[in-house]
Structure 1
């Protein structure tokens, strides 16, 4: 049988691809997964199972505990992403079937006995595989849906509302934290696709964020598909948190950061971080986790109230004229540099001066003077935030 198994080992890459295509063809749920999920969750585990199958035959032994653990871990991740258990089991069955069909196709007439012995091993292996998948999936499902998760969800809700209590921490299996770091995340919704694609992609991203931030210490979170709050035990810099989160993101995102060593101030810290994240995302800041010190001006001028209303009203008359509107934005973005602004607009400096004069006449605010430039800058920031 060694010759047949050797030929099977040589064809593992080919059989892996056949198994993957069969899974995508026969299980529509998997076909709708994001490309990254197909690569990691289908192709890699299919190859691992085939290698494990061949290695078991070559060495005449069952899989080790470590090998079984990887299968269970893969099933655990599928449970976290909400893929139905039936589909997970079916995917493993289809992969095993592809392997068996390849064996049957390559075996010669004189290898009938070898094929028969391999058939017995396939059945045993499929049984073991199903048990490992089911165990890993059910264990995770029970944990995710269990008491601890509900208790932690209640705890972070209470912390955000400034009504935490020792019994809520105890119920969640935690000791109250003194030093706390808050990260408020604003995430772009997953790419447009089927409901399945969006749901799985969102769960995957949140799982990866939790795993990455757990490196910094224990966390509580209220993450959803579009973001939420992560509360960490201890004090961690926004630079470090950016470095942990950034590699996981493929789209526009922003984070707000705040720290406190006074538990009673956690609600205020969460509110501050939430405002920072919202401002950074709506104003299209480069993706990162930001502290208040880096967005003080933007946060202040975008808060609702009479001042913001007055700032927006100062732009209303300018916004009605396309030339004046584009000129004002370009002039502010160029830092008041007239020659640079004229070059950017492809107009003569005299034309630029005429337009700036028109803006001054219509609004009674002179953008060429320091006070007027600052006023229009604040107004444009508020406008971009409201319409962001």
Structure 2
């Protein structure tokens, strides 16, 4: 721990005059009295101090005050020596951060202590010792500046560590709740959830050509979280990564299906995630329903992407048929394999997807892909020739759609 409270003095205090040292020495016998006065009277006026346990006030706070008073007096007596450091101040600052004492209360306690010490020095000063008193005040204020710096730094570092630990515990709980590895009701209660909820799945694709980096990813997540906090008044429980994630929101009586919330989130999140953001909202009546709701919301987004629906808010009603077709059973592998002949042709896969989404309208398909209609016709003919699927028929179209949806689950 640093022992120099004076920036630029390389560990050295200016040497007080003999008169100043003599004045300070007369206060040494009052250390215990001053400590009692501060802990039992002066600090009681600080916000939140009265609520501290008696043993904290009488033992920890009193010991810290005595340490500070003696440190000051020793340094007046021997400014060039190592009279002590700020390890106890730092230790107490970390404890107060862990206990939740506001930083302003902690800093005000140190300022109050400095003021009480100034009063003691003033009361001891006799006529003709005004110069010595000014020296000690200068000495006191310089030292106080360093104490405040050490205390604030330690408190903020400890608070940041506690916040990070809390956030990671929070993320682990939510992750465990959604994947079923943590008992649903326990996680539900620890996360502060109660009653019916809405589960939202977010998908935010990166901009084309964007290279992932740890710094950019952290910034992206912070911006997402800031938008969610402003939109939802920090009521959401979130599990985010740079590409999206899940959030759980208490269900509102005036928005039971979450459509209004989803639309507002879509609008706000586009400001930081671009126009390609996708999200789905699914209700959960109780804690045990959350894992299934999260899977359903993720499936709705995945299916909407797979069948070429435009970005935005997706609801189950938008993809009822596609959702049904994407369910896995004994035939799933064979259906997905129907598109194997064009698996290495993303141009044909994209054309098929867009053509199905645009209800077989070749001109709409061409416009969406930026192609000539004849190019679309040629690609569709090539798909039929390679796969054997007649996508102009109802059966062939349904098989092609099911194959696209089932292949969207396969690892790439």
Q: Taking structure 2 as the reference length, what is the TM-score of the superposition? A: 0.48
Query: Residues 143 and 315 from structure 1, CA distance in 2 versus in 1: closer, same or farther, beyond 3 angstroms?
Result: same
Q: Which stretch shifts more, 251-260 or 133-142?
A: 133-142
What does residue 100 of structure 2 align with? none
Find the residue that maps to 1:152 and give its secondary structure: helix
The 8 Å contact of residues 253 and 281 in structure 1, kept in 2 or not, is answered as: no
- Tell me which of 204, 221, 238 is aligned to 1:221: 238
1:155 aligns with 2:155: no
Equivalent pairs, count: 257
Cα deviation, residue 286, structure 1: 3.4
The 8 Å contact of residues 183 and 255 in structure 1, kept in 2 or not, is answered as: yes
Find the residue that maps to 1:223 and give its secondary structure: strand
Query: Residues 198 and 313 from structure 1, CA distance in 2 versus in 1: closer, same or farther, beyond 3 angstroms?
Result: same
Structure with more of its chain in helix, by fraction: 1
Find the residue that maps to 1:368 and give its secondary structure: coil
Cα deviation, residue 182, structure 1: 0.6
Q: Which stretch shifts more, 185-194 or 320-329?
A: 320-329
The 8 Å contact of residues 300 and 319 in structure 2, kept in 1 or not, is answered as: yes
Whole-angstrom CA distance in 2 between matches of 1:325 and 1:259: 33
1:286 aligns with 2:303: no
Cα deviation, residue 255, structure 1: 1.9
1:233 aligns with 2:266: no
1:270 aligns with 2:294: yes
Gaps in structure 2 of 5+ consecutive residues: 1-141, 253-257
Higher CA-based Rg: 2
The 8 Å contact of residues 322 and 401 in structure 2, kept in 1 or not, is answered as: no
Whole-angstrom CA distance in 1 between matches of 2:159 and 2:217: 18
What's the CA shift string for 1:293-348, capped at 9, x where partnerless? Answer: 22233334345554443333333446789998898667646533468779965549
Query: Residues 218 and 312 from structure 1, CA distance in 2 versus in 1: closer, same or farther, beyond 3 angstroms?
Result: same
- Tell me which of 333, 345, 350 is aligned to 1:309: 333
The 8 Å contact of residues 269 and 277 in structure 2, kept in 1 or not, is answered as: no
Whole-angstrom CA distance in 2 between matches of 1:232 and 1:188: 23
What's the CA shift string for 1:218-240, capped at 9, x where partnerless? Answer: 22222122222211122433223
Query: Residues 333 and 136 from structure 1, CA distance in 2 versus in 1: closer, same or farther, beyond 3 angstroms?
Result: same
Q: Taking structure 1 as the reference length, what is the TM-score of the superposition? A: 0.50
Query: Residues 170 and 224 from structure 1, CA distance in 2 versus in 1: closer, same or farther, beyond 3 angstroms?
Result: same
What does residue 211 of structure 2 align with? 192
- Tell me which of 392, 401, 405 is aligned to 1:368: 392
Query: Residues 253 and 151 from structure 1, CA distance in 2 versus in 1: closer, same or farther, beyond 3 angstroms?
Result: same
Gaps in structure 1 of 5+ consecutive residues: 1-122
Query: Residues 209 and 131 from structure 1, CA distance in 2 versus in 1: closer, same or farther, beyond 3 angstroms?
Result: farther
